[in-house]
Amino acid sequence: MKIMVAIKRVIDYAVKIRVKPDKSGVETKNVKMSMNPFCEIALEEALRIKESGMASEVVAVSMGPTQCVDTLRTGLAMGADRGIHVEATGALLPLSVAKLLRALVEVEKPGLLILGKQAIDDDCNQTGQMVAGLLNWPQGTFASKVVLDKEKQAVTVDREVDGGLETLCLDLPAVITTDLRLNQPRYATLPNIMKAKSKVIKKFSPQDLNVEIKSDLEVVQVTEPPKRKAGVIVSSVDELIDKLKNEANVI
């Protein structure tokens, strides 16, 4: 069985972002970019499944501008067997990404598609659910544990839901999106980074895949959130209780 993992290139999670003065978006020039943390977890999970002998190949795919190849190389250095880059300029909405993924699934025929539960830039939390809907595959979102049963061709997924954990059993092929607690992604070692350079990254264009990139959402403006008023530092517990009682009226 083949596993396909979708990875996204985003501004590094530790970077304090800056909104562009013209309010058209967030500054991405000369800003450190990395693989979306949830995508790292998705890739790690695919690699672990392969290492346990349940999968034959891990294919990493990424969509977007040329620089996505760097992100794919990182994925290959972690251990993915090969990469696919769908080169697309301009904004890609989750619906377009889901359609491109569906087209790639039809080419590659993986038994499992793993994605992160959300990208930390747009915070959408949509792509996995959408591609599952388009493919009519079952979905296991916000997974914190994945157990594959090769004989039954099924996968058991523990999902992090409000108020606890939910366990589902999905028939393969299926879509899984990963939560933070699924695993601890590995670091790529230097020899593996060198090896990754000789691994294949295949290029597609949306036209090759017969996917029309359209948009039904328009970003009107991006602004900074309102700043909170500076607070005060109190010197004792008594003062704190007094302020909460008499100034803020919250207790």
Partner 1 sequence: MAIGVILRALNRRIDPNPKSQIFSLASASRSVSTLVLAEHEGGAVKAPSISAVEAAKSLGDDNSISLLLAGSGSSLSEAAAHAASCHPSVSQVLVADSDKFAHPLAESWAKLVHLVQQKGSYSHVIATSSSFGKNILPRAAALLDVSPITDVIEISSSHLFLRPIYAGNALCTVKYTGGGPCLLTIRSTSFPVSPLLADSKSNEAPISQIDLSTFGEDSVGNSRFVKVTSQDSERPDLANANVVVTGGRGLKNAENFKMIEKLAEKLGAAVGATRAAVDSGFVPNDLQVGQTGKIVAPELYIAFGVSGAIQHLAGMKDSKVIVAVNKDADAPIFQVADYGLVGDLFEVIPELLEKLPEKK
Strands 33-35 and 9-11 turn out to be antiparallel
- State the Cα–Cα distance between residues 209 and 227, nearest whole angstrom: 45
List 22, 151, 162, 212, residue binding partner 1 (CB under 8 A): 162
List 1, 169, 188, 209, residue binding partner 1 (CB under 8 A): 169
Buried b (16+ CB within 10 A) or exposed e, 210-248: ebebeeeeeeeeeeeeeeeeeeeeeeeeeeeeeeeeeee
Contact code string over 181-200 relative to partner 1, x by CB under 8 A: x-------------------
Q: Least distance in Å: CB of 207 to partner 1?
A: 19
Rule CB under 8 A: which of 225-244 touch partner 1?
A: 225, 228-229, 231-238, 240-241, 243-244
# residues near partner 1 by CB under 8 A: 82
Rule CB under 8 A: which of 15-74 touch partner 1?
A: 16-17, 19, 26
Rule CB under 8 A: which of 102-161 touch partner 1?
A: 117-118, 120-134, 136-142, 144, 156, 159-161
Q: Based on the shown chain and the rule CB under 8 A, indicate whether residue 168 belongs to the binding site for partner 1.
A: yes
Q: For residue 231, which of 249, 243, 245 has the smallest C-alpha distance?
A: 243
Q: Least distance in Å: CB of 113 to partner 1?
A: 14
Looking at the Cβ atoms of 11 and 59, the one nearer to partner 1 is: 11
Looking at the Cβ atoms of 81 and 126, the one nearer to partner 1 is: 126
List 13, 52, 205, 208, residue binding partner 1 (CB under 8 A): 13
Long-range contacts from 180-184, C-beta under 8 angstroms, 24+ separation: 180/37, 180/38, 180/41, 181/144, 182/41, 182/44, 182/45, 182/143, 182/144, 182/145, 182/146, 183/41, 183/44, 183/45, 183/48, 184/44
